[in-house]
Copies of this chain bind each other. A is one copy, B any other.
C-alpha cells in the first residue's frame, strides 16, 4: 500500500486532479455522477489529503489554538475539554498551550500559535496586568477573563450571582455573607456586584435593611476555608445563615470550615458555590451551585472564531446565563428562638 496522492485518485477515476480537488472541497460545479465515482475511488484507495499541502495553498489550517493559565484549575480543564469537542464538531483540531499565568510565557505561546498559522485563538488571559498582543489578522477571543480591547465570551457572572443570592433570600435567609473573589479579577467583581444587587433592597422581617457582608479571597480551596472560618467566627445571633461563595473551590473550602466548627449543613448553614465544576457534585453534601454553561460558552467561542457566528463587538461580550443547581448544601434557615440566642 504505497503513498496515495490526489494524482492516483484522478488517474484511477479517469478524471483530472482538479476535479478530484473540487470533489474534496464540495465545489458545486461537479456532476453528481462524477462526484460519486471520485468519492468511490477515494474511499477505495483510502486516500487522505495531505494537510500540509492543503494548508499551504488554501491558507487555512483547521487548527485552533487555546491558551490557558493553568490546567490544574478544574474550571479551565473543563473549558479546554468543551472547546476541543466544539472544535472537533466543526472539523477543527486544537493546539493546547499553558501560560502558567505568566504574561511573558503567554506572549510566547501566542507568537508560536501565530507561527503555526492557526485559524483562531481562544485565550483565558493570565492574571498579571498586561495587554495581550493579538497577531494582526488572526481572530482571537477571550473567555471568562474578559479584556476591554478584545472580543470575549463568558458567563453572565453578575446575573448568575443574583440568581444564587435571590435563591437564598427566597429561602428566608437574611444574614447572607459573600466570599468574594480576588479584587482585580473581572469575574470576581461581577459576582460581587450581583450579590450586592440583591442585598441592597433586601429587608428583614421587621422591615429593617440587612447589611451586606463580604470578604475577598483567592478562588482556591484554602482561601475559601480561611474566609469561611472568618465569617463563621462570631456569635450565632450574628453569624451568617447562608454564604454565597464566588467559586466552587471556595465553597468547598468553606464547607470544610463549617464542618470544623461543628456547624451542621444545611441545617445550620447554607452554602452556594459558583462554576459547577464536576467535583461540586461529588462531595458530601453535594454542593448547591451556579453552573456555567461551559459547552455553550466554548461553542460560542469556537463558532465566533470560525465566522459561523458574529464576533462579539469590543466591550460587548457574549454573555451566557448560568443555571442554579439546587443540591444538598442549602436549605431554609432554622428558626432561632430568642431563648436559643440568649443561651449563647
Contact = CB atoms under 8 A, between A and B. Distances in A.
A239 interface: no
B116 A93 contact: yes
A50 interface: yes
Interface string A49-62: 01111011000010
A279 B73 CA distance: 10
A220 interface: yes
Interface stretch (A76-84, A168-176, A309-317): A76-84
A282 interface: yes
Contact of A112 (B93, B259, B260, B279): B93
A95 B94 contact: yes
Interface residue tally of chain A, by bracket?
35 or more
A221 B84 CA distance: 26
Nearest to A223: B282
A80 B56 contact: no
Interface in A37-79: 48, 50-53, 55-56, 61, 63, 70-72, 74, 77-78
A94 to B, nearest CB: 5
A117 B3 CA distance: 13
A95 B83 CA distance: 12
Contacts of A70: 81
Contacts of A93: 95, 97, 112, 116
Contact of A74 (B48, B56, B74, B260): B74
Q: Report, nearest first, the 7 A-B pairs whose CB atoms are least far apart.
A: A96-B96, A52-B56, A71-B81, A52-B55, A221-B282, A77-B77, A52-B52
Given A48-B115, A93-B116, 6 more contacts: A52-B56, A71-B77, A71-B81, A77-B77, A84-B96, A225-B284
13 contacts: A48-B115, A51-B116, A51-B117, A52-B55, A52-B56, A72-B78, A72-B278, A74-B74, A84-B97, A85-B98, A221-B279, A221-B282, A256-B284
Interface of A: 48, 50-53, 55-56, 61, 63, 70-72, 74, 77-78, 80-81, 84-85, 88, 93-98, 112, 115-117, 220-222, 225, 253, 256, 259-260, 277-279, 282-284
